[in-house]
Structure 1
Amino acid sequence: MTLLTLSSRPTPPVSLTALRNFAALRGQLRVSLGPECNIACWFCHNEGDVPPGTTREDRTQQPRRRVLCAEHYVTIIGTLIDQGLTRVYFTGGETLASKLAKPVLEGMRQFAAPDVSFSLITNGILLARSMPWLRDTALDKIKVSLHYFSDQSFRGIAKTRLPVSTVLGGIDAAREAFGRVELNTLLQKQNEHEVHAILQYALERRLPIQFIELVDTDFNASGQSAAVPADGLVAHLRTLTREERVEIAGVGQGRRVFTIDGLEVEVIHRELGRHHVGQCGSCPLRPQCVEGFWALRLDHAGGLQPCLLRDDLRLDLTELLATADAPAAIATAVAGHVASFTEGTL
Structure 2
Amino acid sequence: QRPLGVLRLSLTARCNLACPYCRPDGEEPPGLLTLEQRLRVIAAGVALGVNSLRLTGGEPLLHPQLTDLLQAVQPLRRDGLKDIALTSNGLLLTAQRAEALRAAGLDRLTLSLDGTTGASVAAMAGLADSAAGERALEQVLRAIEHARDAGFDPAQGALKLNAVIQKGRNDEQVLPLAQLCRERGLELRLIEYMDVGNRNGWQPADVVTAAEMVRTISERWPLEPQGRAGHSTANRWRYGDGQGSVAMVASVSQPFCGDCNRLRVTADGIAYTCLFAAPGSGVDLKPSLAASRDPADLQATLGQLWQERADRYSEERSTAAARPAAHAEMAYLGG
- 1:31 paired residue number: 9
Root mean square deviation, CA, Å: 2.5
Q: Distance in 2 between matches of 1:43 and 1:343?
A: 22
Q: 2:237–2:246: 8 Å Cα contact kept in structure 1?
A: yes
Q: Which of 315, 335, 338 is the equivalent residue of 2:283?
A: 315
Q: Distance in 1 between matches of 2:296 and 2:232?
A: 26
- 1:124 paired residue number: 90
Q: 1:124–1:170: 8 Å Cα contact kept in structure 2?
A: yes
Q: Distance in 2 between matches of 1:326 and 1:133?
A: 35
Q: Distance in 1 between matches of 2:46 and 2:84?
A: 11
Q: Does 1:43 align with 2:21?
A: yes
Letter in 1 for 2:195: D
Letter in 1 for 2:109: I
- 2:319 paired residue number: none
SS of the equivalent of 2:253 reads: helix
Q: 1:125–1:170: 8 Å Cα contact kept in structure 2?
A: yes
Displacement after TM superposition at 1:133 (Å) = 1.7
- 2:245 paired residue number: 264
Displacement after TM superposition at 1:88 (Å) = 1.0
- 2:216 paired residue number: 236
Q: Distance in 2 between matches of 1:78 and 1:338?
A: 16
- 2:321 paired residue number: none
Q: Structure 1 187/132 Cα, relative in aligned 2: closer, same or farther at 3 Å? A: same
Q: Distance in 1 between matches of 2:306 and 2:53?
A: 17
Q: 1:118–1:141: 8 Å Cα contact kept in structure 2?
A: yes
Q: Hey, which bits of structure 1, 4+ residues long, moved more than 6 A? A: none
What is the TM-score with the length of structure 1 in the denominator? 0.76
Point out where structure 2 has 5 or more consecutive residues left out of the alignment. Answer: 313-335
Q: Which of 298, 305, 309 is the equivalent residue of 1:330?
A: 298
Displacement after TM superposition at 1:251 (Å) = 6.3
Displacement after TM superposition at 1:324 (Å) = 4.8
Q: Distance in 2 between matches of 1:155 and 1:250?
A: 33
Displacement after TM superposition at 1:342 (Å) = 4.3
Q: What aligned pairs does 1:151-170 form with structure 2 within 5 A after superposition?
A: 151-160=118-127, 161=132, 163=135, 164-170=137-143
Q: Does 1:274 align with 2:247?
A: no
Q: Distance in 1 between matches of 2:143 and 2:178?
A: 18
- 1:302 paired residue number: 269
Q: 1:146–1:183: 8 Å Cα contact kept in structure 2?
A: yes
The Cα offsets for residues 12-56 of structure 1, whole Å up to 9 and x where unpaired, read as xxxxxx6xx523xxx421111011211111112xxxxxx52xx45
Q: What aligned pairs does 1:1-346 form with structure 2 within 5 A after superposition?
A: 21-23=2-4, 27-44=5-22, 51-52=23-24, 55=25, 64-112=29-77, 116-128=82-94, 129-160=96-127, 161=132, 163=135, 164-177=137-150, 178-179=152-153, 180-188=158-166, 189-224=168-203, 226-239=206-219, 240-247=221-228, 249-250=230-231, 252=233, 255-260=234-239, 261=242, 263-269=244-250, 270-276=252-258, 293-308=260-275, 309-324=277-292, 326-342=294-310
Q: 2:6–2:262: 8 Å Cα contact kept in structure 1?
A: yes
The Cα offsets for residues 138-179 of structure 1, whole Å up to 9 and x where unpaired, read as 211000011121222222221233511011111110011122
Q: 2:9–2:265: 8 Å Cα contact kept in structure 1?
A: yes
Q: 2:231–2:260: 8 Å Cα contact kept in structure 1?
A: no
Q: 1:36–1:93: 8 Å Cα contact kept in structure 2?
A: yes
Letter in 1 for 2:184: R
Q: Distance in 1 between matches of 2:223 and 2:170?
A: 26
Of 227-236 and 108-117, the range deviating more from structure 2: 108-117
SS of the equivalent of 2:309 reads: helix
SS of the equivalent of 1:184 reads: strand
- 1:288 paired residue number: none
Paired residue total: 292
